[in-house]
Structure 1
Amino acid sequence: MGQPFGGGQAAIDVAVAAVPLIVVLGAALYLRDQHRRYGRQYGWPGRLTTAALAAGAGLALYAVWPLPASADGLCALDPSSAGPRPGSALPWPAPADTLRAMVLAFALFLPVGFLARWRFRRGWALTLALGSGLAVAAALLRATGLLGLYPCAYADTSPVLVGLGAAGTLTGWLLARWVLPLWPTGPARGWPAALPDRLVPDLGRRMLGALLDLGLWWYGAATLVALLRAYEVVRPTAVDQVRIAALLGCAAVFVLVLPQLRRDRATLGAAALHLAVTAPAAPRSADRWRVLVRTLLLQVPVALLIALGPAWGALAVIALHGSTAVVRPDRAGLADLVCGVRVRTRSTLDGGLPDRLVRYAPPVEGAGAGLSSMPGSPAAGR
């Protein structure tokens, strides 16, 4: 079986760009699903939702770490050496069954079992199967050099680490099941209750949406360039120019074109958090020309400064925009005030409710409606 993309440095470039992109995409889909089901994230359930996202990102990092950017010296491993693998970012010896590697494998899977019980209310059998599957998947990625994208396995693994991952998952579930209820004040409820999402979105939610946009844009463009390079569409001498063109092209699609086609006028990252750009005082979509002007004042300068430099100028633009949002009750940024728009939730725009919200439904009267069901009555036994 040949290596993907012909192997070599081209395949490694694809891996370095695509792995972070997959993580960002997974985070966006996860947050979109949680907001669709439960609406606004708040309290302990909201914190645990974020903790589950962080645990997933940590497991992804564990499976691919250190994700070398080059194959130089990667496979020149002397089995008799007790030192680190040449070219590796790992500060401990290369063999997998070191004490530190085993403790890390056990500790990283503890949150999986803990959250499966406290946040997602799953039984021990399903939780153990999930943890074991994740441990096997991580071991497979390590043993195959990221499914063959690398010429060799740059991070060692073993059945012991897989078993410790499963044990850590089960231990976390048992802690949530038997130890957490012994907390002196009693544990807070970990699973969320659906709430209508009509309040003004806080700055943390808006910032998270912006970070998702940044990740999708940056790693999406990097993956596109890496694929073009792997298929020899781009010459090595033109990679830098193509990278800048890809960044600017993806920015044009993500922040200029797509929001104009959506009813909520939101970018992909904001849409994952159920945000919308609306009129200031009415539950309707903001005018397209206002959204376009806002994009030209905010996202376009940020994209140009990150792509062409200086990158620190992008932070100045963001700080200037947020200077009014931190003091206003409606959290309107400077560009929002200038263009006459507001960032609201999607539910404010379309009146939608979370999928898990309990809705009242009047009882359906059957054929025996109005008849007594007491013993001996005509409706008895129905």
Structure 2
Amino acid sequence: MNRVLLPAVVAVAGGVLLAVALFVPYVAVQFRRRGSVGLVPSVLALAVLVHALAVVAYTLLPLPSSTARLCADGGEDPQLQLGRFLVDASRLGLHGPADVVANAALQSFAFNVALFVPLGAFVRHLTRRGTAGATAVGLGVSLLVELTQLTGVWSLYPCAYRIFDVDDLLANTAGALAGALLAPLLRLLPGQAPQAPGVPRPVTAWRRLLGMAVDVVLLTGAGAAAAFTWRVLVVGAGLRVPPAADRAVLLLLACALPAAVLLLWLLSSGRTPGEVVVRLRPRGPLRPARVVVRWLAGAGGYHLLNTAGPGAASTLATALAVAAAVSVWTTRGHRGLPHRLVGWDVQDDRVPGDVPGDGPPAPRR
């Protein structure tokens, strides 16, 4: 993979993985700051993650496998002559438009400008700083990048393997300035108007599905973390665990433990963590038997089946997930399959008056 494509792949893949890791806290913060999660703010947040990783990837990657030969000559010397890129461009020839477009020195300078345009736009748009403030942030980030290259990633390498270039500082700062000037265009995107977080919102199908996704992510992440911890302990302590016992422990930690914790959570509060995050609560009698049924027909049963292993359990997990998703669109008030089975309705937790478990469910309209 070439030096242009590799950083782009790293930035996109890393941004998506980081977005998954931050998915639950992001949704929780958005519901408490804005009252809901908007599509445009979420896309902008993902773009910020990808761009931040792109800046890191394009300025540091590819990492050298060995710097012995390079460091024997003292490493890369810094380039401190401002405007040196123009000298290099003239040496390569500028006899016509085609030469200008194909000139490697001009291409490098233009790329460094373009790399920092999103930074200036994001800083001004999201932090409400002025043009000067966003440009100063771009200069500061560029200086940090160049010093990282000059110091060999802060002495991680014995010498500099990338060039400290003042022309890069100039190009990056110019890009940040251009982005700051273009930032007002981001305000034209819909769905960014400030909203009162304390005002109740309708219970929509997308909101219910978002809460279900939060439950699945939390259960899967908790199970994976528990299994990983067990594996680290076994390897670190040099334990010899029989394969059958090891599989049993992993199944217990990754499958049964998260589902059991979810059941205890439901018995104590009446709603799943996902419903807490998206600010929903059930309406109906929260008797223990109904809570268990709701757990089995919802995220708890899905997690048990999905992590039990391949085969029939996995097929049943898929069927349960499809049924749960379809029922969100087809049941009254988007309450979904588990709440339908136990006779509960779902409402926004900002609606005053009702407390989970008090009173009968809402009458059918």
SS at match of 2:209: helix
Question: Does 1:225 find its partner at 2:221?
Answer: no
| CA deviations over 1:249-288 (Å, ceiling 9, x no partner) | 44225521223333x6222x33222232x115xxxx8445
Alignment of 1:204-353 (within 5 A): 204-231=206-233, 232-233=236-237, 235=239, 240-262=247-269, 265-267=271-273, 269-276=274-281, 278-279=282-283, 286-310=286-310, 311-348=314-351
- CA deviation after TM superposition for structure 1 residue 297, in Å: 1.8
Percent identity over paired residues: 23
Pick aligned residue for 2:181 from 153, 157, 174: 174
SS at match of 2:180: helix
Larger Rg: 2
| CA deviations over 1:169-225 (Å, ceiling 9, x no partner) | 554332123x568xxxx7657342226543432222222333333333323333343
Counterparts of 1:243 and 1:143, CA distance in 2: 46
CA distance 1:337–1:105, change in 2 (3 Å): farther
Pick aligned residue for 2:30 from 31, 34, 48: 34
- More contact order relative to length (CA 8 Å, sep ≥ 6): 1
SS at match of 1:322: helix
Question: Does 1:190 find its partner at 2:198?
Answer: no
User: Aligned partner of 1:226: which letter?
Assistant: F
| CA deviations over 1:279-302 (Å, ceiling 9, x no partner) | 15xxxx844542332111222331
Q: State the match for 2:45 in structure 1.
A: 53
CA distance 1:241–1:26, change in 2 (3 Å): same
Counterparts of 1:106 and 1:219, CA distance in 2: 37
The two structures have a TM-score, normalised by structure 2, of: 0.58
SS at match of 1:205: helix
Q: State the match for 2:129 in structure 1.
A: 122
SS at match of 1:343: strand
SS at match of 1:39: coil
Counterparts of 1:309 and 1:117, CA distance in 2: 49
CA distance 1:255–1:331, change in 2 (3 Å): same
Counterparts of 2:19 and 2:27, CA distance in 1: 12
The two structures have a TM-score, normalised by structure 1, of: 0.56
Q: State the match for 1:68 in structure 2.
A: none
RMSD (CA atoms): 5.1
- CA deviation after TM superposition for structure 1 residue 337, in Å: 0.8
| CA deviations over 1:30-70 (Å, ceiling 9, x no partner) | 322221122134xxxx23321233224435765898xxxxx
CA distance 1:249–1:201, change in 2 (3 Å): same
| Contact 2:324 2:336 survives alignment (8 Å) | yes
| Contact 1:21 1:216 survives alignment (8 Å) | no
Structure 1, 160-169 or 243-252: larger mean CA deviation: 160-169
> Could you say which structure has the higher helix fraction?
2
Counterparts of 1:220 and 1:59, CA distance in 2: 29
| Contact 2:209 2:328 survives alignment (8 Å) | no
| CA deviations over 1:276-331 (Å, ceiling 9, x no partner) | 2x115xxxx84454233211122233112221233454221111123332134511
User: Aligned partner of 2:33: which letter?
Assistant: R
Q: Gaps spanning 5+ residues in structure 1: where? A: 1-18, 66-73, 81-96, 353-382
Aligned residues: 292
| Contact 2:120 2:177 survives alignment (8 Å) | yes
CA distance 1:225–1:165, change in 2 (3 Å): farther
Counterparts of 2:264 and 2:295, CA distance in 1: 10
- CA deviation after TM superposition for structure 1 residue 168, in Å: 5.2
